[in-house]
Homo-oligomer: A and B are copies of this chain.
Amino acid sequence: MNFHGQHILSVHQFERVDVERIFEVTDQMRPFGRREKVTNPLKGAILSNMFFEPSTRTRVSFGSAFNLLGGNVRETTGIESSSIVKGESMRDFARVLSGYSDVIVIRHPEMGSAEEFASASAVPVINGGDGANEHPSQALLDLYTIRAELESQGKNVDEFRIALIGDLANGRAVHSLLKLLSLFHRVTIKLASPQGLDTPPQLVELLRSRGATVSESHDLHEGIQHVDILYVTRVQEERFASQEEANYYRGLFRLNQEIYSKYCESNTVIMHPLPRDSRAQSQELDEDLDSNPNLAIFRQTQNGVLVRMALFALVFDVVKQVQSSASKPTWHMPRPRIA
């Protein structure tokens, strides 16, 4: 696809070649993420960063990405700030706002809201998450992280083994990632979820029809063996019939260093869409894994800024100008690795 001026609403928009193009541009953003260089090809451009449900992390990530390309950010952080509550239609709001802006990121709790919004916008709209539906930049940063982690281990980025564990029935992050994985034909995918939280059958079908090897189970320990990547998601208590059932399944689907050491290959990469729930009764991903060098969750969020920079650069068609506007910063901030 030609990204210039296009909306980014769903992973369904992408062919394999589009994903490769996004990642190629993302790679070029690395020196800017590390602040070895600064650049400003989007000088004078305005992002309207419209969040109609709270998500500090995603909001700041998009805003930072736009700032790192030299653009200005206007934003809203909650539905209360919006006249939409006064009966204004999403379409009216989109038309008005797109008259002020050069690109819009929208996050909204309702499925399909991003598409409705985009249909009335005069400028490109990037879906920052519309309820249970889609969150394409999250799926892209997940896949980019998989690629980057495999590369850093000298592994093949086309033929890898990945396990997804936790609640696979719900959760847009997992579904969007699986849709993207369907673009890779020689992938081995292991799906392990508590009973009743299985992956939607049509998604499994899609993956198989594209050539992926897919297996399903309800056993964490079996599910996390023999893979390059382990993608963990939250088991949400409220989905179960009783507290007892929830506790039982949560107990089975907790990953900690002991379980990792016992069942995983020694360099299996651990990922998670974040936030992880670190309360004692939750802990799907124990903090004792924080010193495990294969825990990639913070590299994952840092990659998010790079992927979002790439999306903006492509949508504005300024990939070349990112480099030609680059200079060394007048400052240097040492960035220690945190233990």
Known: A87-B282, A275-B88, A275-B92. A41 touches B316 (CB 8 A): no
Which residue of A96, A124, A274, A332 has the most chain B CB atoms within 10 A of its CB atom?
Answer: A96
Which residue of A86, A101, A301, A305 has the most chain B CB atoms within 10 A of its CB atom?
Answer: A86
A68 touches B89 (CB 8 A): no
B76 touches A48 (CB 8 A): no
- Residues 271-286 (chain A) with a chain B CB within 8 angstroms: 274-279, 282
Nearest Cβ distance between residue A194 and chain B, in whole angstroms? Answer: 19
Extra pairs beyond A54-B83, A88-B277, A325-B330 (12, CB < 8 Å) = A4-B334, A42-B330, A42-B331, A45-B329, A61-B100, A73-B74, A83-B275, A87-B282, A88-B276, A95-B338, A122-B337, A318-B331
Known: A57-B97, A92-B276, A278-B92. A329 touches B122 (CB 8 A): no
Residues of B within 8 Å of A331, CB to CB, are: 41-42, 45, 102, 316-318, 321
Residues of B within 8 Å of A109, CB to CB, are: none
Cβ contacts A to B, 27 pairs, < 8 Å: A5-B333, A41-B331, A42-B330, A45-B333, A46-B68, A56-B81, A56-B82, A56-B83, A57-B97, A60-B97, A60-B101, A61-B100, A64-B100, A72-B73, A73-B74, A76-B77, A78-B81, A86-B277, A96-B301, A100-B301, A121-B338, A122-B337, A122-B338, A123-B333, A124-B333, A316-B331, A318-B331
Chain A contributes a number of interface residues (CB within 8 A of B) equal to 81
Residues of B within 8 Å of A305, CB to CB, are: 99-100
A87 touches B43 (CB 8 A): no
Nearest Cβ distance between residue A170 and chain B, in whole angstroms? Answer: 15
A97 and B74 alpha carbons, distance in the complex (Å): 19
Task: Output the nearest chain B residue to A85 by Cβ-Cβ distance.
Answer: B54
User: A262 contacts the other chain (Cβ, under 8 Å)?
Assistant: no
Q: Which residue of B5, B35, B48 is within 8 Å of A102 (Cβ)?
A: B35
Which residue of A55, A68, A330 has the most chain B CB atoms within 10 A of its CB atom?
Answer: A330
A103 and B72 alpha carbons, distance in the complex (Å): 18
User: A263 contacts the other chain (Cβ, under 8 Å)?
Assistant: no
Residues of B within 8 Å of A298, CB to CB, are: 95-96, 99
Q: Which residues of A contact B (CB under 8 A)?
A: 4-5, 35, 38-46, 48, 50, 54-57, 59-61, 63-64, 67-68, 72-74, 76-78, 80-83, 86-89, 92-93, 95-97, 99-103, 120-124, 274-279, 282, 287, 298, 301-302, 305, 316-318, 321, 325, 329-338
A67 and B47 alpha carbons, distance in the complex (Å): 11
B77 touches A60 (CB 8 A): no
Residues of B within 8 Å of A122, CB to CB, are: 335-338
B43 touches A38 (CB 8 A): yes
Task: Output the nearest chain B residue to A299 by Cβ-Cβ distance.
Answer: B99
Task: Output the nearest chain B residue to A278 by Cβ-Cβ distance.
Answer: B89
A77 and B93 alpha carbons, distance in the complex (Å): 18
Nearest Cβ distance between residue A236 and chain B, in whole angstroms? Answer: 11
A128 and B44 alpha carbons, distance in the complex (Å): 24
A195 and B269 alpha carbons, distance in the complex (Å): 62
B78 touches A80 (CB 8 A): yes
Known: A67-B72, A96-B274, A318-B330. A38 touches B44 (CB 8 A): yes
